[in-house]
Chains A and B, each alone.
Chain A
């Protein structure tokens, strides 16, 4: 008997108002893999992650996590959002943000236990931020912000991680820490799905790539997906009026 895939997405369609963002997306993402999602601006990359997480309502389709249908929030699913999605001047410390990754387990009204706080400490160590634990998040650089979010996802101890542009605008230290953490998680058999914006580094980071442009245009190993023909279809098709690069 083979293990169920980490994520099975069938006939997923998402629309914002009257504008379709994802149409009939079908994907089966295997366990223990590092998977990149690439595609032009407005291709629906972030929306795909949010639809899996239940943050954006699906129009149609079903999603299975580790062989079971996803209903509502599932703590086996971890999320590293884009850095820009929050206000970094919010009055909270690095350790407090990371501790939020335990809140799903901790539950209402209770505070993280000593064991949970140890996990927070370990996650901060892992991303090289232990010295910053009691700093205000407003004092962090962009790369440190990214590592804070990564540590918050790590303490959740999820099976499948969804990362939105984790490599965007980070320093070399952060990139190293990030790759190390991702490889470590993969070695433990966890699945990592990351939206990625830089085609030049896709082959370096990922085992498999999803080329997305509202539909799944291709899915497979980087050298099979990133062919000139397919990229041409994804990045210069007439349906992309905004074909600009970037986040």
Chain B
């Protein structure tokens, strides 16, 4: 399976994964994670229209169409948010599905009624396809990716400030609207470039999943960006390899499955922020609290039973009391526990 074409696809996919992850990290931090999803869905009518109007199915033309209607979708979203009483989440869902619906309807029409439409491969944009990727496409992805990366590194300080505290950024004299547009533009470019490979339905997830997964492992923004890029690259390149080896599998969904898997692993096992550490920390704190409470109770009542503790809501009364016994604070006596009257802890005991 190691053909020239596989290598090309692999490089293109990896670059795309890194680019989406880096710009997506800022989008997630700025709480604009769903922007890419609206954009991608709103791109479909543009792809179809571009083909219909020009009769040409070269990628630059189709992607120009994609970006155009994608931006129109975002503009409508911004307008709804600002001027109508529609809430943002509802407006997001609305724009996304209406544009996607228009796109699907248009593409059916073009495929049936327009000469050559059936062979234009418009449907491959929905789930993505890497098989048709050629060197020129990869060079395009590489160029766009490198440019995005340079922009992000050049404006790192500004992007970080505007993501953290846009109002303060404004008081420092920075143009918040411009920086937001820059951030949005980077997402637009990453998503549009990713459309052919990953597909409309899945590409936005490449801007969200790596960032969110990486956040479990680190709280340093530079590390976060590097880690997100790595996760994105691993998911997209393994996904591309998979679909090269198993041509029946759709590329986009496989990439997202891999990214999703990395997210689940991170969410579960990351130290400090992972779910398992969290649960362990919580149960340790609870056990300590229960032990202290049981000790106080025993001191006050001198005798307690398991049902006393259960009534008070102790979750593991027996374990808690056995802990007290092992510390010499309590004595077990046939179903009840009695205060062992331990000497008050004093300085010279150690």
With A111-B157, A136-B219: A90-B170 Cβ-Cβ less than 8 Å: no
Mark A27-64 against chain B: 1 for CB-CB distance below 8 A, else 0: 00000000000000000000000100111000000000
Query: Which of B95-103, B141-149, B158-166 contacts its partner?
Result: B158-166
The answer to whether B171 and A86 have CB atoms under 8 Å apart is no
Chain A CB within 8 A of B280 CB: no
Rounded to whole Å, the gap between the CB of A118 and the closest CB of chain B is: 18
The answer to whether A81 and B172 have CB atoms under 8 Å apart is no
**Chain B: which residue is nearest A102 at the CB level?**
B172
Chain A CB within 8 A of B167 CB: yes
Interface band, chain B? 20 to 34
Residues of B close to A77: CB separation below 8 A: 171
- The binding surface of chain B is classed by DSSP as helix
Chain B CB within 8 A of A206 CB: no
A-B contact count (CB 8 A): 75
Chain B CB within 8 A of A240 CB: no
Chain B CB within 8 A of A200 CB: no
Q: Which chain A residues in 75-110 approach chain B with CB under 8 Å?
A: 75, 77-79, 81, 85-87, 90-93, 96-97, 100-101, 103-104, 108-109
The answer to whether B171 and A100 have CB atoms under 8 Å apart is no
The answer to whether B219 and A138 have CB atoms under 8 Å apart is yes
**Chain A: which residue is nearest B215 at the CB level?**
A91
Interface centre among B155, B168, B219, by most chain A C-beta atoms within 10 angstroms, is B168
- Partner among A72, A91, A109 whose Cβ is within 8 Å of the Cβ of B221: A91
The answer to whether B224 and A91 have CB atoms under 8 Å apart is yes
Residues of A close to B29: CB separation below 8 A: 90-91
Residues of A close to B167: CB separation below 8 A: 50, 53, 55, 79, 81, 85
In the assembled complex, the Cα of A28 lies from the Cα of B334 at a distance in Å of 80
Rounded to whole Å, the gap between the CB of A80 and the closest CB of chain B is: 9
User: Which B residues are closer than 8 A to A by beta carbons?
Assistant: 29, 31, 154-155, 157-158, 160-161, 163-165, 167-174, 215, 218-221, 224
User: Which A residues are closer than 8 A to B by beta carbons?
Assistant: 50, 53-55, 72-73, 75, 77-79, 81, 85-87, 90-93, 96-97, 100-101, 103-104, 108-109, 111, 136, 138, 152, 156
